[in-house]
Amino acid sequence: MNPMLNIAIRAARKAGNIIAKSYENRADIETQVKGNYDYVTNVDKAAEATIIETIRASYPDHSIITEESGVLDGNDRDTQWVIDPLDGTTNFIKGFPQFAVSIAIRVKGRTEVGVVYDPIKNELFTAVRGEGAKLNDIRLRIANRRDIKGTVLATGFPFKQPKLMPVQMAMMNALITDVADFRRAGSAALDLCYTAAGRVDGFFEMGLKPWDCAAGELMVREAGGLVCDFNAGHNYLKDGHIIAAHPRVVKEILNKIQPCLGNVFKN
């Protein structure tokens, strides 16, 4: 096993244990407001601390980028661990069992390893660049759709940026003439993993951060899918606007949504 993958799995499972125990003992959850409908709990912070401690024990020189602590520079800035200790915090607070730990390892600007762990379902999604993606020990292949008709697409609402909601509604309105349904479950990391696993046929969302999607996008690519931004480029980790699906489905999603964008996301 890739040694960094092994440490990422260990860190994700340790964090997942903290999250699962806290989920069962909800009276101990403490919630703070970070921003517009943006929350953090004592569990996010505890899970993040455990992940950082596990990484530092094996790779003390690596840099770490986390949702809660920001950038923790190491002597090796070429290797970055991109962490979301609890993707789907709002779901966790509400007791809705759809959230995960997300860990990606990027080397010289390229994602090499991805781990997403759902502690409630005990589902471990892993990917290594060039070696494929797995759910536990099962190899993942993206749904082989010939076109967009009848697909089920996952998405997320840009609730932290309300000004983008009209664009979101316009995109969904344009897509609904062909797709069968939408899923909006509240965890981008799991939405991407579910796309890689064929549980949904594709995913699109605006306003994401690198820690939301860095691990999941590798899952999709290693499962045979295509990931791009709204301009069919590769800036999704930078601008936060992402599409992931089978290449033919991505092309049709782009054709449907680009007229809805106006000048908002044009290069």
* Residues making up the binding site for Mg(2+): 67, 84, 86-87, 212
Q: CA 178 to CA 218: how far, in whole Å?
A: 27
What is the DSSP pairing of strand 123-128 with strand 110-118?
Answer: antiparallel
Binding residues: 67, 84, 86-87, 212
